[in-house]
Structure 1
Amino acid sequence: MARGVYIHIPFCHQICNYCDFNKVFFKNQPVDEYIEAIGKELSLIQKQQPEVFNHIETIYLGGGTPTALSASQITRLLEIIQSQIPTSELVEFASEANPDELTVDKLIALKNGGVNRISLGVQSFDQTLLKKLGRTHSNEHVYETIENARHVGFNNINIDLMYGLPGQTMEQWEDTLEKALALNLPHYSAYSLIVEPKTVFYIQYAKGKLNLPTEDLEAEMYDILMKKMELHDLKQYEISNFAKDGHISTHNKIYWDNDEYVGIGAGAHGYIQNIRYSNIGPIRKYLDTILNGERPILHEHEVTIEEKCEEQMFLGLRKNEGVSFEAFEKKFGISMLDKYKGIIDQLVAEELLIADKWGIRLSRKGRFVGNEIFQQFLLGD
């Protein structure tokens, strides 16, 4: 049964140099038509799977940039969502936002429409690095937006930060962390840069023109991140996420728990009734498919039991709590130790995993090489 709904808003006023998500420039796009199509897609899913929205805990507006929409467009989008999905018992209703786009009228529209969590794409407090990333906001935008959000009534605010950026020094990273933590927010996310295909950074990298920090420097940046978050009473509950008590990201935890969620919008991905699916990406083709009364699915894949086990391991190990022996066996009818004992024993011997009676989790040492550890569980029994 689906626990969450992800809704993709693919419009941006500025395309960032590192972003590989499905997105287009806002200008001259059929934005209003797209918003109405979101409602039609929700309706089509309900007709095919009437119970799919019965136990929804979270809704997440992602992109692109949801706050590229005007206040009136945001209001209309949220009206459509509330008309299709029961929202009275939601644990979390979140929206991504850019600091230089989230005006007071948009904040009010989000708040009135039921949104209770804002995630700001800050990335850095260094203007030189922001320019390299293709970001258009200033530090003043960040401070003003957070102040306005609090004034409107938002107390669950996250900011995203990035490290391992081209030309980034340790001094720049520590300065960004100090400025971020001075805001005293309940949640912070911090990600190392991944150079993805079909991005400006990828083209620069292929030409040898992207000056990335060394692996050792990036590891030092991650180490400093964990230490500073701990000093500010922010508990690390996932490799890249830190929160004060009661403020973990419920929606993202659905992904790490390997539970099901509905994906809505052009290029969105979903996981319903053992089927992982992806939607058509090009906006005009997405809209035409919806207008024809068809769900805009590009690809579907029925997840095998083997794939489910693998996903449970590499997603669950992202969480600090790790993966429970009991929960694994209850979910799949298979003992985790019977299936992965050799891999687990080896990783424990290398002090990359910690195993106890409850289950397994990454050690602090293991957090630095998480992707290498996750890969071990994709190599078969």
Structure 2
Amino acid sequence: MVNAVYLHIPFCDYICHYCDFNKVFMQGQPVIEYLEHMDSEMERTLERFPTSSINTIFVGGGTPTALNEQQLEQFLHSVSTKFFPYTEEGLEFTMEANPGSVTPRKLEIMKKYGVNRLSIGAQAFQNSLLKRLGRGHNVDEISDIVTMAKHAGFENLSLDLMFGLPEQTLEQLSDSIERAVDLGITHISSYSLQVEKKTVFYNQWRKGELPLPTEEAEAEMYSELIRRLEAHGLKQYEISNFALPGYESQHNITYWKNNEYYGIGAGAHSYVDGVRRANAGPLKQYMSRIDEHGFPYVDENELTKGEKMEEEMFMGLRMRQGVSKQTFEEKYGTPVESVFGEQIEKLVYKELLKDTGSHIALTEQGFFLGNEVFQEFLAV
């Protein structure tokens, strides 16, 4: 049964130098037409794949808060009309929000339609690094959005921070962490920079114009991140995520537990009835596919039992608690050791995994070498 919804707003006021998500410049785009097609996809998805309960909704992008107030209200009205009949008390409803693109009125609209969690794209607290990233905001606007959000009644606030940036120092990362914590944030997501194709940074890297930290320096940054956030009470519950108790992202936990979810919008992905589906990314193609076929799918892949078990491991191991042996056996009808015993034994010997009795989980060393661990569970 599907209990989670992801909705994609691809519009941006500017394009960050590292971003490879599905996005387009806002200016001149058919925003209203796109939102109408999203509304249609929501309705048809619920008709084809019914659910009885929605626990989490996440609006990502792009920049959802690039929508103007009228567009934002139209979009959130669609979401509430389609999905709220299935929601229960305790719904986690998250919207990504960028500093500089949020107004008190937009926050008021979000509250009106049930949004209760904001994921704020700060990335760094140094204007020089923000400029290098191609971000459209400055440091002051980060504190401004947090102040506005709290004034509007938002208590569940997550902040994105990046490390391993061009010419970033350990001292700058430490400063960013402390300044984020000082704002009274309840959750922090922090990822190292990944240089992806079709980005400004990729072109700079190919030309030798992207001075990145060494692997040792990046590992030191990650260690500093964990140490400082844990000292402030933000517990690491996943490789890249930290939260005060009770503020863990329930939507992202859906992904890490390999549970099913709807994906609505251009370029969105979904996982329903054991099938992973990918939507068309270009706006015109997305909308024309809905008009012509009812759904915007460009790829549908029904997973084998083996593929599902692999995903259960390399997704679940991202969480500090790891993979539940009981849940694995209930889902797949066989003990995890009977499928991955050799891999688990090897990684336990290398002190990258541990068997707690109820779970298979990463060790402290394993958190730094996660990719090496996950690779062991692919194509077994």
TM range (shorter): over 0.9
Please say if residues 60 and 95 of structure 1, whose CA atoms lie closer than 8 Å, have aligned partners that are also in contact: yes
Please say if residues 238 and 320 of structure 1, whose CA atoms lie closer than 8 Å, have aligned partners that are also in contact: yes
Q: Distance in 2 between matches of 1:338 and 1:355?
A: 14
Q: Could you say what secondary structure the match of 2:236 adopts? A: strand
Which letter maps to 1:66? Answer: P
Match of 1:6 in 2: 6
Q: Could you say what secondary structure the match of 1:102 adopts? A: coil
Match of 2:311 in 1: 311
Match of 2:238 in 1: 238
Q: Could you say what secondary structure the match of 1:371 adopts? A: helix
Misfit runs of 4+, over 3 Å: none
Match of 2:249 in 1: 249
Q: Distance in 1 between matches of 2:200 and 2:191?
A: 18
CA RMSD of aligned residues (A): 1.1
Q: Which moved more, 1:17-26 or 1:280-289?
A: 280-289
Match of 1:33 in 2: 33
Q: Distance in 1 between matches of 2:371 and 2:79?
A: 36
Q: Distance in 2 between matches of 1:25 and 1:48?
A: 32
Match of 2:79 in 1: 81
Please say if residues 44 and 293 of structure 1, whose CA atoms lie closer than 8 Å, have aligned partners that are also in contact: no
1:259-298 correspondence runs (5 A): 259-292=259-292, 294-298=294-298
Match of 2:54 in 1: 56
Deviation at 1:379, TM superposition (A): 4.0
Q: Could you say what secondary structure the match of 1:85 adopts? A: helix
Deviation at 1:132, TM superposition (A): 0.9
Q: Which moved more, 1:371-380 or 1:2-11?
A: 371-380
Match of 1:118 in 2: 118
Deviation at 1:293, TM superposition (A): 5.4
Which letter maps to 2:65? Answer: T
Deviation at 1:356, TM superposition (A): 2.2
Match of 1:167 in 2: 167
Match of 1:193 in 2: 193
Deviation at 1:171, TM superposition (A): 1.2
Please say if residues 91 and 250 of structure 1, whose CA atoms lie closer than 8 Å, have aligned partners that are also in contact: no
Match of 1:342 in 2: 342
Deviation at 1:292, TM superposition (A): 3.1
Which letter maps to 2:276? Answer: R
Deviation at 1:357, TM superposition (A): 1.1
Match of 2:21 in 1: 21
Q: Which moved more, 1:205-214 or 1:3-12?
A: 205-214
Match of 2:320 in 1: 320
Cα deviations across residues 75-133 of structure 1 (Å, max 9, x unaligned)?
Answer: 11111111111254152000001011011111111111110000000000011111111
Q: Distance in 2 between matches of 1:185 and 1:105?
A: 22
Match of 1:371 in 2: 371
Unaligned runs of 5+ in 1: none
Q: Could you say what secondary structure the match of 2:277 adopts? A: strand
1:66-215 correspondence runs (5 A): 66-86=64-84, 88-89=87-88, 91-215=91-215
Which letter maps to 1:68? Answer: A
Q: Distance in 2 between matches of 1:332 and 1:288?
A: 39
Unaligned runs of 5+ in 2: none
- What's the TM-score, normalizing by structure 1? 0.97
Deviation at 1:183, TM superposition (A): 1.2
User: How many aligned residue pairs are there?
Assistant: 378
Cα deviations across residues 143-169 of structure 1 (Å, max 9, x unaligned)?
Answer: 111111001100000000000001111
Deviation at 1:46, TM superposition (A): 2.3
Q: Distance in 2 between matches of 1:324 and 1:188?
A: 25
Which letter maps to 1:67? Answer: T
- What's the TM-score, normalizing by structure 2? 0.98
